[in-house]
Structure 1
Amino acid sequence: MLQVPFVKQPELTYAEYLDRECISSIKHDFVNNQVFAIAGTDANHNLIVCNLVATIHQRLRGRNLRLFALDMKLTISSASNATYYPDVMVTGDRVDNDAYVKQKPCLLIEVLSPLTAMLDRREKRFNYQRLESLQEYVLVSQSEMKVELYRRDRDGWLVQCLGVGDSLHLQSIDLAIALSDIYEDVRL
């Protein structure tokens, strides 16, 4: 097996990252002044995101909430400007009006893939939960009908695991979604 020596990526400032990201043909997360390319997604991942977006979009019509999917950056300034591309994000703060970056979501949803599951469960969850505006963080498996809901309450974060026959109740946007709707047309 050919071994490639570890090469440390050059560090960038947040402004340099944003400038480069605007012209990049691929998306990158930005953590601790380092950029990390984001892997592409498969059919299951895309179907789940589309099912979530279609359902959530209908619920948000006429409300002061905005829905973003896949291509909107989220910057967490309390985490040294860590920046990610959540799969689904809902914001409700009209001051959070930058055209390319949001900072005050009330709901974040990530669809887990074998390559990203650990990152989504650990690093992203830790950083996301630092956001004062965030009320709920949802992890959706793409390989089995399983959803993890993290909800903020006055004592911290509660977790609820859901499976076949359950519904996901999102208090942040006052919506219940049957898991069968989230997984419609998905091959498990």
Structure 2
Amino acid sequence: MGEAKLSLISESAYLAGEELPGLRHEYVRGETFAMTGASKAHGTIVGNIFAVIRAHLRGTPCRTWAADMKVHVESAGAYYYPDVVVTCSERDLAADAPQNHLAAPRVVVEVLSPGTEKVDRREKWMNYRQLPSLREYVLVDQERQWAEVFRRGEEGWLHEIILPGETLPLRSLDMRLSMDDIYEAATVPRTAKKDDS
């Protein structure tokens, strides 16, 4: 039997392709991965998080985007589309900075889905934390009220779990998001469905 040959594309070809209308893709070392559609709960949670962060950042030098802004992890040869991303970097916000991606995010939020959870928890987490600018990586479950924050500390990364009724601290932005605000109108149960609660 013959082996299937993997067809890799260049970074410049990937970036040019992403400017065209149609399906979006993430990119890792020459391979592209199509982005799938989101559920209503996923879209609602992303919108809620984005709205609260955007309102908090008004009048500051930081900016936030939801779903359509890529993050470039140069050391991993990767471009990802996080669900919500915040940058406060002059490098990212300068007039002559690339308009289709960020290189120095401060906060990255991924809303977990059954199809993406393993990638968000492993590959993306391992690559995102290579970014010196990143202070907080947030994972939010779309099937139950549950969130996790990985926060860069003086001695490495700290991990915090946030449960229903609690608030999710984003210390690098000097703000807190209530779980009620995150899950507003998302029809997600407060009680866990998984074995780890």
Distance verdict in 2 for CA 1:8–1:117, change over 3 Å? farther
* CA deviation map 1:83-134 (0-9, x unaligned): 0000000001121132101110000000000000000000000000000000
Looking at structure 1, the residues matched to 173 and 162 of structure 2 have their Cα atoms a distance apart, in angstroms, of 18
Candidates 43, 51, 61, aligned match of 1:64: 61
C-alpha spacing 1:25/1:6, structure 2 compared with 1 (3 Å): farther
Structure 2 counterpart of 1:68, one-letter code: W
> Does residue 87 of structure 1 match 2:83?
yes
Counterparts of 1:80-159 in structure 2, within 5 Å, are: 80=77, 82-96=78-92, 97-159=97-159
Distance 1:181 1:8, change over 3 A: farther
C-alpha separation between the residues in 1 aligned to 2:31 and 2:134?
Answer: 24
Aligned equivalent of 2:73, options 72, 76, 90: 76
- TM-score w.r.t. the length of structure 2 is 0.90
AA aligned opposite 2:174 = D
Q: Aligned partners of 1:16 and 1:151: how far apart in 2?
A: 34
Q: What secondary structure is seen at the aligned counterpart in 2 of 1:95? A: helix
Q: Tell me the C-alpha RMSD between the 2 structures.
A: 1.4
Unaligned segments of structure 2, at least 5 residues: 189-197
Ranges in structure 1 where 5+ consecutive residues have no aligned partner: none
Shift of 1:6: 8.4
Moved segments of 4+, more than 2 Å:
5-9
Q: Secondary structure at the match of 2:138?
A: strand
The one-letter amino acid paired with 2:160 is Q
